[in-house]
């Protein structure tokens, strides 16, 4: 007898858990899912048996009574409509289960100390996989969906595999991940005059942010979390609060950068306010405008890897 999959979470880690006796004397095996604890009967047997029982009960032995053929046709139509409604309810239930698993995954990462940025990126990628037709409870479906994303780079596919591996770890399951090996390339390093032209063409906030990155080598997240108390205008120092295994440090900066920072509005304890994602989108628009105006393609490269 083939082992069924759990209708609640799709897991194949199920074991026998007693039997169920029907009114006609037949016996159906009961199963227990080891992942989510859901107890169920074999759906392929219970649904067919129930539908056929109701069908013959309504028809009343139509095979032996030709006069009931119209009644049989009507009963068949009702049976088909019932199965369609059941299929629609199952699809909605599955969609709700997927959303619940994604929320559970986000909370699981929160409990295990993952950063907020990591949690946001990984949950967003799972939602992208679901929107593109993947059943995240079925590893083979996820493999197919990732393989069909021709617009993704190999590095993005590697990231998707890592995220789904972490998701399966939360469920207590394993899979055979696909093998993607991105090609290593040397980073694009623009000329200093090109950087200065880009900075001078941006608005006041973006220019100060880019000048800060240029002089300090800070990560985008480190620069975005910079507070006014971290800037020493008298001694021309900037204190860097690290992220992701970085080291705290103090860096000397120029008077030009201090003047650009001092020109920003002081509306909160942070130097830069708002969402970093929205700021990155604004920066890309400004970069494209400057590149078009200067008729140079060098600015269209991802000069700053964080955006």
Question: For 248-259, what is each residue's pLDDT tens digit?
Answer: 999 999 999 999
Whether 150 is covered by a domain: the verdict is yes
Whether 36 is covered by a domain: the verdict is yes
Number of structural domains found in the chain:
3
Q: Single out the residue of 35, 31, 23 nearest to residue 4, CA to CA.
A: 31
Give 248-254's long-range contacts (Cβ < 8 A, gap of 24+). Answer: 251/215, 251/216, 251/217, 253/212, 253/215, 253/216, 254/215
Contact 120, 148 (CB under 8 A): no
Whether 178 is covered by a domain: the verdict is no
- Mean pLDDT (whole number) for 72-98: 57
Residues 263 and 166 in one domain: no
Q: Look up tokens 């975005």; give the residue.
A: 224
Residues 73 and 102 in one domain: no
CATH label of the domain that carries residue 104: 1.10.150
Residues 82 and 116 in one domain: no
Domain finish residue from 61, 86, 111: 86
CATH label of the domain that carries residue 295: 1.10.443.10
| Domain, as residue range, for 136 | 98-171
**Residue 9 vs residue 104, higher pLDDT:** 104
E strand intervals along the chain: 14-21, 27-33, 39-41, 231-232, 237-240, 249-252
Whether 129 is covered by a domain: the verdict is yes
Residues 78 and 106 in one domain: no
Bridge partners, residue 249, by sequence = 240
Name the strand (E) or helix (H) holding 104. helix 69-111
Domain finish residue from 139, 171, 203: 171
How do residues 212-251 score in pLDDT, each as one tens digit?
999 999 999 899 999 999 999 999 999 999 887 788 999 9
Rg (C-alpha) for the chain, rounded Å, is 30
CB within 8 Å of 221: residues ≥ 6 apart: 117, 243, 244, 276, 306
Give me the torsion for CA of 86, 92, 98, 104, rounded to 10°. -110
Whether 3 is covered by a domain: the verdict is no
CA distance to 90, 219, 252, per residue, from 247 (Å): 51, 12, 16
Domain finish residue from 86, 110, 138: 86
Whether 5 is covered by a domain: the verdict is no
Residues 72 and 135 in one domain: no
How do residues 257-305 score in pLDDT, each as one tens digit?
999 999 999 989 999 998 888 899 899 989 888 888 876 554 444 444 4
């Amino acid at each position: 007898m083939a082992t069924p999959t759990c209708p609640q979470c799709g897991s194949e880690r199920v074991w026998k858990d007693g039997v169920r006796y029907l009114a006609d004397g037949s016996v159906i095996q009961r199963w227990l899912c080891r992942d989510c604890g859901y107890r169920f009967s074999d759906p392929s047997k219970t649904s067919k048996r129930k539908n056929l029982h109701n069908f013959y009960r309504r028809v009343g032995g139509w095979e032996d009574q030709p006069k009931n053929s119209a009644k049989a046709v009507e009963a068949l139509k009702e049976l088909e409509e019932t199965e369609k409604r059941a299929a629609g309810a199952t699809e909605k239930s599955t969609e709700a289960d997927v959303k619940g698993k994604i929320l559970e995954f986000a909370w699981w990462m929160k409990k295990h100390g993952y950063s907020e940025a990591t949690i946001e990126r990984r949950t967003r990628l799972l939602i992208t996989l679901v929107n593109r037709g993947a059943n995240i409870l079925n590893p083979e479906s996820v493999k197919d969906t990732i393989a069909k994303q021709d617009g993704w780079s190999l590095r993005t596919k590697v990231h998707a595999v890592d995220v789904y591996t972490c998701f399966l770890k939360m469920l207590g399951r394993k899979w055979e991940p696909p093998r993607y090996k991105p090609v290593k390339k040397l980073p694009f390093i623009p000329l200093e005059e090109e950087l200065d032209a880009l900075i001078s063409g941006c608005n006041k906030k973006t220019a100060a942010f880019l000048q800060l990155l240029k002089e300090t080598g800070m990560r985008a997240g480190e620069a975005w979390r910079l507070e006014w108390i971290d800037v020493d205008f008298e001694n021309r120092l900037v204190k860097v609060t690290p992220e992701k295994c970085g080291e705290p440090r103090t860096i000397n900066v120029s008077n030009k950068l201090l003047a650009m920072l001092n020109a920003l509005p002081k509306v909160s304890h942070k130097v830069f306010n708002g969402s970093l994602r929205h700021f990155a989108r604004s920066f890309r628009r400004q970069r494209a405008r400057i590149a078009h105006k200067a008729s140079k393609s060098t600015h269209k490269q991802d000069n700053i890897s964080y955006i």
